[in-house]
Amino acid sequence: MKRRRLHPKDYTVGWVCALPIELAAATIMLDEEHEEFPQDNSDGNLYTLGRISEHNIVIACLPAGQTGTNSAASVASRMKSKFSSIRFGLLVGVGGGVPSAEPNIRLGDVVVSQPLLGHGGVVQYDFGKTTPSGFERTGSLNTPPMILLQALTKLQANHHRSTGSLTRYLSIFSDLPKFARNNTGPDILFESSYNHIGGHTCERCSKDRLVVRTSRSGEEIMVHYGTIASGNQVIRDGLQRDRLSSELGNILCFEMEAAGLMNSFPCLVIRGICDYADSHKNKKWQPYAAATAAAYAKEILSVIPTAEVATTRTADEAVMYVC
């Protein structure tokens, strides 16, 4: 079947991801793929185009091996320039969860940025200045646009009524073993102070240092809303993870791109939890976590009316209005 070709101005939603596995999950969520545009020598991005519900989506992934806030900002800037009708963005992919008794975050769960305790949904934990009394974080990041915050309210209400579509959208991955839950291995958490012994798995790590947690029924996915910490370094130390979380008001997860987007590309950050941001992290859970995040992104787009998108400021207009 020949794919449709639309005009760049027909695309109103930008979707940014950082890893190839995240791009694959995003593409699988499209209800329809569109014909791609010829490569533009002035634009280093490669785009995947399509439709979810009634929204035309443009997807861009960061260049291989170039993760971080600056790379994300560059990709989003080029996307906005080429697709000037984009109203808002979604930053969708995997992240490292912060375990605690409440919320009880597990691997495969979804974390969504939402304003809380003075933060706009994302905080840049490594930006600031060193003072005699310690490191002082400076600056602030914008909240997600109102149209997305309203969609969060609608979606949360649907989940309270058990009428959400997350499980149904996740089932689209059921015929793809790469993204299967049973391909992930066990969900285990070690004490914060216990470091990984070595190797690609935790087979050599002491089972005596495992944290005993209450069980959850079946393979239920939970969605958590709150603050996401963003920065240019990979957090893979349990003690540092817990310290930063406490200092920042109990953040939910760590990632490496959002801080580069929030003030220039109005968006919502959606992260599937693939590890616990400690020394035991590996890539085993990444495909499944990328799938759960992409399924949630599809679900939130399904509750946003196209008429409301049409009357929303473009991403560039929104940034100028805030400034």
**Per-domain boundaries in the chain:** 8-322
pLDDT for residue 220: 83
Q: Are 272 and 154 in contact (CB under 8 A)?
A: no
pLDDT for residue 38: 87
pLDDT for residue 322: 61
pLDDT for residue 239: 97
pLDDT for residue 140: 77
CA 300 to CA 313: how far, in whole Å?
Answer: 19
For the chain, list residues with pLDDT below 70. 1, 134, 138, 218-219, 321-323
Q: Are 266 and 315 in contact (CB under 8 A)?
A: yes
Q: Tell me 194's DSSP state.
A: P
- The answer, yes or no, to whether the previous bond of 305 is cis (omega within 30 of 0) is no
By CB atoms closer than 10 A (0-12, 13-18, 19+), residue 21 is buried
Spelled out in words, what is the top-level CATH class assigned to the domain 8-322?
alpha beta
By CB atoms closer than 10 A (0-12, 13-18, 19+), residue 107 is buried
Q: Where are the beta strands (DSSP E) in the chain?
A: 13-17, 32-33, 47-52, 55-61, 88-97, 110-113, 122-124, 128-131, 134-137, 223-226, 228-230, 253-255, 267-275
Q: Are 123 and 116 in contact (CB under 8 A)?
A: no
Q: Are 274 and 289 in contact (CB under 8 A)?
A: yes
Q: What secondary structure, in 3-state letters, does 289-310 show?
A: HHHHHHHHHHHHHHCCCHHHHH
By CB atoms closer than 10 A (0-12, 13-18, 19+), residue 181 is middle
pLDDT for residue 136: 72
Q: Write out pLDDT tens, residues 4-29.
A: 999 999 999 999 999 999 999 999 99
Predicted model pTM: 0.95
CA dihedral 66→91→200→195, nearest 10 degrees, is: 100
